[in-house]
Amino acid sequence: MQTNRETVRNEVKLKQASIAVLGLGHVGLPTALGLAELGWNVTGADADPRKIALLRQGQSPFYEPGLQQLLTRHAANPRFRLADSVADAIRSSAVLFVCVGTPQRENGEADLTQVEELARTIAANLNGYKLIVEKSTVPAITGQWVKLTIQRYSRKAGNGSAAQPEFDVASNPEFLQEGKAVDDFFHPDRIVCGVESELARSILSEIYAPLGCPVLFTDVSTAELIKHAANAFLATKISFINMVADLCDSVGADVRRVAEGIGLDPRIGRAFLNAGVGFGGYCFPKDLRAFIRLAEENGADASLLRATEQINESRLDRFVHKVRQALWMIDGKVVGVLGLAFKPGTDDIRESPALRIADDLARRGARLRVYDPKAMENTKSVLPEGDTVTYCADAYGAAEGAHALLVLTEWEEFRNLDLPRIRSLMELPVIVDGRNLLDPDAVRRAGLEYLCMGRQREASAQGLHEILAAAS
């Protein structure tokens, strides 16, 4: 007679095993649909019934390039189904991907309430061997707590006697970037799996085999740490180049050329060396703070990461100072804002530098004309339309009557603006580029004054701005 473990192993090899993805947010939904695309039987579940209802109507609850097309393709596919409850998904599946949220607490640590609640739900619904795979970003040793929680509550629920319940816990951190999550799922540069048994290793190897990319196997705590360390390192690169940009502003150098020069060194690389208004979004700020908290709680020197966070926080004031350089007085001025999402390719405004800057300028008395290709509906709940804020149909509407036009999210359509048309619409021909997105020469040829982050201005753009910067 086959044991539960042997049955699961054989089902995986035949692609008959059912995989549950628990949590259908920015990580869970691309993962669930991606696994279905690879040929696995996938059950999606979420504690939010409104999200499930929307998905059953064939609509993605958020924007992500390629995601709606993937959902449409699998809406009627028997390999992809939506469960009526999280418990139903757990009972019907052998492999459980945990994709719930891990927001930050006020002290910076990760709030693992949803992870703990899900572990207790799994414990109450153990009906055979389960491989529980952490995909949510969690601090090291979370897997140990998940395992202990399931052991405790499964015995309480009667799903086992004094013997250990039949399950494994693994860590499989996600590296899906918002704005390209679907592409990242199908074309990963690496997959990291922390496992505690050969069966868990075998199952995850089979699941990811079609992707044909390197798979790094470690213990569970190491895999958990890899995710936080990766995000903290990338955040540090961004803050480093932003510090260099401030120096470039002072000495008249061009930060883009500096980034190119150091990025050609293969030990450094060019990625994440784009100066601007800093990083935002759900992951980088949260994961950086959680990593700092974890390091300090365990006696590690986190001063480097503290400096990374401090530099990023200073970007808002630095950019607003540039707007003041351009306009002198902000109160009563019309300011066009291009971009509200924290990055292009998403409608996510969580911890968006663009939104924080827009809110700051509104508080200073500016009248904002704003436009974003995808994020305006989300923004209206936190920056309501009214006397001081007008939502526009396109970038040209945002420029109309503006004393300055700000580029705050690097959407590709902003790179290709009709600059002479922009010039004709504006009250004052001033662009302040917080993402160094535009070609300075093209902007100036169109008759616009151009300020940016960490790049030398031409002589024609010096004069008064130089004097005012020195005076301040």
Task: Tell me which of 193, 248, 283, 392 is the catalytic residue.
Answer: 283
Instruction: Give yes or no: 213 in active site.
Output: no
d(CA 389, CA 358): 9
The residues carrying an active-site annotation are: 283
